[in-house]
Amino acid sequence: MAQTQVSDFQSIEVAANPDGFGAGITGLDISKPLQPETLQEVKEAWAAHGVIYFPDQPLTLDELEAFTLQFGEFGEDPFIKSMEGRPHVLELRREPDEKATNFGAGWHSDWSFQETPPAGTILHSEVTPPVGGDTLYADGRRAYDDLSDEMKARLEGLMAIHSAILPYGSKGLFAQETEKRTMKIISSTKAETKQLHPLVRTHPVTGRKALYVSPTYTIGIDGMDEAEAQKLLGELFAHMVQDKYVYRHKWQQNMLTLWDNRCCLHLADGGYDGHLRVMHRTTIAGNVPA
Closest CA relative to residue 29, chosen from 67, 69, 62, 3: 67
Evaluate whether 133 touches 72 at the Cβ level (below 8 Å).
no
CA 242 to chain CA centroid, nearest Å: 17
CATH fold of 4-284 reads Double-stranded beta-helix (3.60.130)
* Average pLDDT estimate for 47-58: 98
* Average pLDDT estimate for 186-202: 96
Closest CA relative to residue 284, chosen from 91, 110, 81: 110
Q: Where in the sequence numbering do the catalytic residues fall? A: 108, 110, 266, 281
Evaluate whether 53 touches 1 at the Cβ level (below 8 Å).
no
- Ramachandran sector of residue 34 (left: φ over 0; alpha: ψ -120 to 50; beta: rest): beta
CA distance 81 to 189: 16
CA distance 222 to 262: 20
Is the pLDDT at 2 greater than 90? The verdict is no
**Confidence (pTM):** 0.96
Per-residue confidence at 8, pLDDT binned at 50, 70, 90?
Answer: confident
What is the per-residue pLDDT across 204-218, written as a single tens digit (0 to 9) for each? 999 999 999 999 999
What is the per-residue pLDDT across 245-275, written as a single tens digit (0 to 9) for each? 999 999 999 999 999 999 999 999 999 999 9
Evaluate whether 284 touches 118 at the Cβ level (below 8 Å).
yes
Cite the DSSP H helix spans in the chain: 36-49, 61-69, 140-145, 149-155, 165-168, 226-240
